[in-house]
Structures are given as structure tokens and as C-alpha cells.
């Protein structure tokens, strides 16, 4: 389906124009010559307001759930049922068979990237086609592809990625699902093979306005169509307490490392300098896997990755895999063992993620030197909470910039440190200078922990994106 006439025919609108359509989007800024612009309801406004922009950028046809405005001189297709037909239409437009894709959606305050990234690696070890889509961009089989940068792409960007997959075999899709995407119902009609909720902690309250609304958004992943039974990691306290009173409880399979009666139960034995073990007790089988991951909570993420794909992969296949080189995503629990000491880099940028990281590291290191900051123009309530967590575990703290965006760094510092009486606190606005000072204090008796940006390769300052990466800064500084 790549002509105006075929699109109009799909929506039962008469139009005999055979002009080719070269692309499709609902963002007028992304329209190029030959594109179809879909004017639909957005978060704050309707795309009908941006038709002139789309046409000036090269749109050759408009598709909308609204009537044709006066003055529009290019073909206009109107369908009141646009939203309900959109997903089926996109499968047709890209000539894709929805049964060809096993879409796995994973949400959670923490762990989405690690869980989906490891699930993707496991499938690739079995020589099966797979695609990861999320915070890191997109990885189609083994090729990294840049995306617009949202954790969960919009539906049009998602289908463009699916259209790029060249495989005659059924393809696994591992998709990070953000609370924003759930709140905005970006994926409501997408056919999922399986969905999973990892955990719920307080986050993104600048957008969701309250913890209750954030929890509601996370739980709405169970409203998505899922061919297989949805799953939830019940060891998260907010997940357990909210599912116990939820209408979703009876149709969810629980994963647990604490409750041996859970359908998906696993038990871990962790070593921080060698191979750990995970014993799985699944509905139809049990088996043991040896793997080296650090810190310990990443064993939970790996176990959830196994559970996520367990109905599509046989026990024999799972046991035959060599897991020794399964890795975490770039910038996630990344441990650099340098001659002068250890450096740990992670994306953790909320109090609970920091608590997970620092409490785990405190089991292996008695002296933690911490560098972190708080994002500008984001949830301000979590800033003093992040500082409180830092003070509970670190012997020395360097507070620095972390995507200040359009907010003054000094205001962020005041929010985070206003109530602090921590004696070993240093404030350095330049993240590069902060890392250099941290490295100067690094010894074989402590560990330097750098939190907040992880894999990110830019720093947002005053509306500009400046090239910067924590790992590269560490390695260039030594």
C-alpha cells in the first residue's frame, strides 16, 4: 500500500490519484517530500492545526479524523474511525504481517533497559531474528540504529523500524514501555505477545503530578492486548500492594525470588567476583543457569528476561546457551577496573535507583566516592531525596550538572542540598571537572561511582546538546 488511491480505498474514501507515498508521520516537522501526514489528536493539540506546515514540508496527502478544512488543495482523506483502524492500516502500509512479530513490552521504574537488552541477547544467541527498541535506540539483530530519543517511540517511528527488519522468520521485538507512552496510550492497539511489569517506584511526578497517577499509568500496561498471560515481578512492594486490590490480579502470572509458590520462581546465589547461579522453577520445567553480573539486582533483571521469553523458547534451548558473555547495556552497572581503582557508571537518576545501586555496592566496597546531579526542569521533589540517599552510603559526594536544560544550576543545587549538613560535599558545576576531581581521589581502597547519565552521549544545557559521555570522560582523563 504505497499510493494515495490505495490509502483512500483502505478507508473507504473515493480517490483515484495514483501518486506514490514515500513515508508517513503524524509530526509535521518530520514530513518530507512525498509523505502522507496523519492529522490526529496529540497531547496538547490536534494535528489539524499543523496541516500548512506539513504541506510546506512536502506532504502530498492528508489523513485525518477531522473534516477537510477550507483551502486545503492536496488530497484529504477523512475517517471518523481513524484511531481504531490505525494499527491495522500501518501493518498494511508497510506490507507487514502482524503474526510475523512477537512483541514483548516491558515497563517499570527501573530495569526496563537491562531486561529487554538481555532478552534480546539471549534470542540472538539462538540465531533467531530480534529487535530491541528503547532508551539506547534500536538494535535490529546486531545493528544499532539511532532513534528520536524517546524511551518508547511514537507508533509511526515504531512501524518505520519494523519495516526496516529484513527477515523471513518470526521476529522477536523487545520494547521498553515508558509511563509517558502508557499515559498517552501510544501503543493501545498494538498486538503484544507478552507484557511485563518489573517494579514501581516514585518517578516522573513532574509529568504525572502524583504518585497515584504514576502508579495508574504503570498498571495500565495490563490494559494492552497480550496474546500470552501478562507478567509482574511481585517482589516490588508497590507492585504487590497495588495488584492485590486490582482487577488485573487474576489474569497475571507472578515472578518472584521470595515467594516459592509463584508460578515463576527463581533463587539466586550471588558472587561479586565470579560466576553467580540462578535456579529457575517455571510452570513446566526447572533448570540452573550460571552467569556473571554485577551488582546482585541485575540477576533479578536477567531472571525477568528469561521469564519474559519462557513461553517461546524451550528448556533445551535455554540450557544450551552459553551465558558467560551476556552483558548489560552501555552505561548500566558498568564497572571499569582501572589500575588506580574501580569506577562504576550507571544511569540511575531517581532515589530508588540510587538506593538499589549504592546499597548493592556497599556490600562489596566500604568506601564510596559519589558523583551525581539532578536533571533540570524535571521532578524537583526527588532532589533532596536523592541527596539523602547519597549521604546514607557515600563517604564523599561531588554534586555536579546532569542535563540542567533551561534551569539554573544553582537552583538545582539549592533544591538538592538545602537541608544537607553533609561535611564531605563538594559542588562542581562542570561534570568533566567533577569527574577529574573524583579520579584524583580514587584509590584501590575505594570506588568512584558516577550516576545519572549512563549511556547518554550529550549534555543538555540552555537548549543546546553538548557532546559528553561519562565513560569516555573517565577514560580520556586517565
- Does residue 139 belong to any structural domain of this protein? yes
Residue 246's pLDDT band, with cuts at 50, 70 and 90, is low
Express each pLDDT in 136-164 by its tens digit.
Answer: 999 999 999 999 988 999 999 999 999 99
- Does residue 49 belong to any structural domain of this protein? yes
For residue 14, the model assigns a pLDDT of 85
Residue 87 is placed in which grid cell? 494499527
**355 and 416 assigned to the same domain:** yes
CATH code, 242: 3.40.1190.10
**Cα–Cα distance measured from residue 175 to residue 164, given in angstroms and rounded to the nearest whole number:** 16
**159 and 263 assigned to the same domain:** yes
Looking at 287, 320, 353, the residue that finishes a domain is: 320
Q: Which residue has the higher pLDDT, 166 or 22?
A: 22
- Does residue 50 belong to any structural domain of this protein? yes
- Does residue 171 belong to any structural domain of this protein? yes
Looking at 276, 297, 320, the residue that finishes a domain is: 320
The average pLDDT across 118-125 equals 98
CA atoms within 13 A on the CB side of 389: 22
Residue 299 is placed in which grid cell? 540477576
**427 and 452 assigned to the same domain:** yes
DSSP string, 34-96: TEEEEE-B-SSSBGGGGHHHHHHTT--EEEESSPPPTT--S-EEE-TTHHHHHHHHHHHHTT-
**148 and 295 assigned to the same domain:** yes
pLDDT at 205 over 70: no
Q: Could you tell me what percent of the chain has a pLDDT over 70? A: 98
pLDDT at 1 over 70: no
For residue 166, the model assigns a pLDDT of 84
Q: Could you tell me what percent of the chain has a pLDDT over 90? A: 83
**Cα–Cα distance measured from residue 93 to residue 87, given in angstroms and rounded to the nearest whole number:** 10
Q: What is the pTM of this model?
A: 0.92
The average pLDDT across 30-43 equals 94
For residue 44, the model assigns a pLDDT of 85
Lowest mean pLDDT among 67-71, 127-131, 235-239, 354-358: 235-239
Lowest mean pLDDT among 163-177, 193-207, 409-423, 456-470: 193-207
**220 and 127 assigned to the same domain:** yes
For residue 119, the model assigns a pLDDT of 98
- Does residue 326 belong to any structural domain of this protein? no
Secondary structure (3-state) at 326: coil
DSSP string, 228-264: SPPEEETTSHHHHHHHTTSTTGGG-EEEESS-TTSSE
User: Which residue range forms the structural domain that includes residue 360?
Assistant: 334-477
Express each pLDDT in 325-348 by its tens digit.
Answer: 999 999 999 999 999 999 999 999
**314 and 390 assigned to the same domain:** no
Residue 243's pLDDT band, with cuts at 50, 70 and 90, is confident
**89 and 102 assigned to the same domain:** no
**300 and 448 assigned to the same domain:** no
- Does residue 274 belong to any structural domain of this protein? yes
Lowest mean pLDDT among 31-40, 234-243, 362-371, 373-382: 234-243
- Does residue 122 belong to any structural domain of this protein? yes
**88 and 174 assigned to the same domain:** no
- Does residue 19 belong to any structural domain of this protein? yes
CATH code, 43: 3.40.1390.10
The average pLDDT across 51-60 equals 97
Contact 73, 214 (CB under 8 A): no
Report the chain's mean pLDDT, rounded to a whole number: 93
Strands 447-451 and 341-346: parallel
Q: How many structural domains is the chain composed of? A: 3
Looking at 272, 294, 320, the residue that finishes a domain is: 320
**443 and 461 assigned to the same domain:** yes
CATH code, 425: 3.90.190.20
**227 and 304 assigned to the same domain:** yes
**105 and 243 assigned to the same domain:** yes
For residue 206, the model assigns a pLDDT of 67
Amino acid at each position: 500500500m504505497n499510493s494515495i488511491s490505495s490509502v483512500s480505498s483502505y478507508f473507504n474514501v473515493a480517490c483515484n490519484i495514483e501518486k506514490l507515498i514515500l513515508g508517513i508521520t503524524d509530526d509535521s516537522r518530520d514530513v518530507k517530500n512525498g509523505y502522507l501526514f496523519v492529522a490526529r489528536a496529540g497531547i496538547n493539540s490536534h494535528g489539524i492545526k499543523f496541516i500548512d506546515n506539513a504541506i510546506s514540508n512536502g506532504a502530498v496527502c492528508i489523513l485525518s479524523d477531522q473534516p477537510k478544512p477550507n483551502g486545503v488543495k492536496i488530497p484529504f482523506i477523512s475517517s471518523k474511525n481513524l484511531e481504531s483502524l490505525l494499527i491495522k492500516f500501518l501493518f498494511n502500509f508497510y506490507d507487514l504481517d502482524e503474526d510475523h512479530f512477537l512483541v514483548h513490552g516491558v515497563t517499570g521504574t527501573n530495569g526496563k533497559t537491562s531486561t529487554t537488552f538481555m532478552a534480546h541477547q539471549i534470542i540472538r544467541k539462538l540465531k533467531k531474528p530480534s529487535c530491541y527498541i528503547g532508551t539506547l535506540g534500536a538494535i535490529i539483530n546486531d545493528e544499532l540504529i539511532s532513534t528520536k530519543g524517546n524511551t518508547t517511540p511514537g507508533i509511526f517511528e515504531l512501524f518505520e523500524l519494523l519495516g526496516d527488519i529484513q527477515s523471513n522468520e518470526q521476529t522477536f521485538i523487545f520494547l521498553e514501555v515508558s509511563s509517558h507512552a502508557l499515559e498517552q496510550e501510544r501503543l493501545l492497539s498494538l498486538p503484544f505477545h507478552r507484557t511485563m511489569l518489573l517494579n514501581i517506584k516514585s518517578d516522573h511526578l513532574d509529568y504525572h503530578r502524583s504518585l497515584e497517577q504514576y502508579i495508574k499509568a504503570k498498571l495500565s500496561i495490563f490494559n494492552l492486548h497480550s496474546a500470552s498471560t501478562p507478567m509482574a515481578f511481585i517482589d516490588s512492594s508497590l507492585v504487590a500492594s497495588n495488584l492485590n486490590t486490582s482487577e488485573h490480579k487474576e489474569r497475571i502470572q507472578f515472578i518472584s525470588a521470595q515467594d516459592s509458590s509463584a508460578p515463576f520462581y527463581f533463587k539466586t546465589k550471588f558472587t561479586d567476583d565470579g560466576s553467580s547461579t540462578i535456579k529457575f522453577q517455571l510452570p513446566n520445567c526447572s533448570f540452573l543457569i550460571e552467569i556473571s553480573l554485577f551488582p546482585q539486582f541485575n540477576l533479578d533483571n536477567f531472571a525477568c528476561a528469561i521469564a519474559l521469553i519462557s513461553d517461546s523458547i524451550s528448556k533445551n534451548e535455554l540450557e544450551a546457551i552459553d551465558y558467560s558473555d551476556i552483558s548489560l547495556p552501555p552505561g548500566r552497572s558498568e564497572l571499569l577496573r582501572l589500575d588506580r581503582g574501580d569506577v562504576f557508571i550507571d544511569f540511575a537518576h531517581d532515589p530508588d535507583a540510587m538506593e538499589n545501586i549504592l546499597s548493592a555496592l556497599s556490600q562489596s566496597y566500604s568506601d564510596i566516592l559519589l558523583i551525581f546531579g539532578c536533571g533540570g526542569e524535571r521532578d524537583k521533589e526527588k532532589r533532596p531525596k536523592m541527596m539523602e540517599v547519597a549521604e546514607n552510603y557515600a563517604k564523599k559526594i561531588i554534586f555536579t550538572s546532569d542535563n540542567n536544560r533551561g534551569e539554573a544550576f544553582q537552583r538545582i543545587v539549592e533544591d538538592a542540598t538545602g537541608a544537607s549538613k553533609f561535611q564531605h560535599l563538594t559542588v562542581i558545576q562542570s561534570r568533566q571537572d567533577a569527574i577529574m576531581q573524583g579520579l584524583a581521589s580514587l584509590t584501590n581502597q575505594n570506588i568512584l561511582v558516577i550516576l545519572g547519565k549512563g549511556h547518554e552521549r550529550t549534555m543538555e544545557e540552555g537548549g543546546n546538546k553538548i557532546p559528553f559521555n561519562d565513560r569516555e570522560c573517565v577514560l580520556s582523563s586517565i
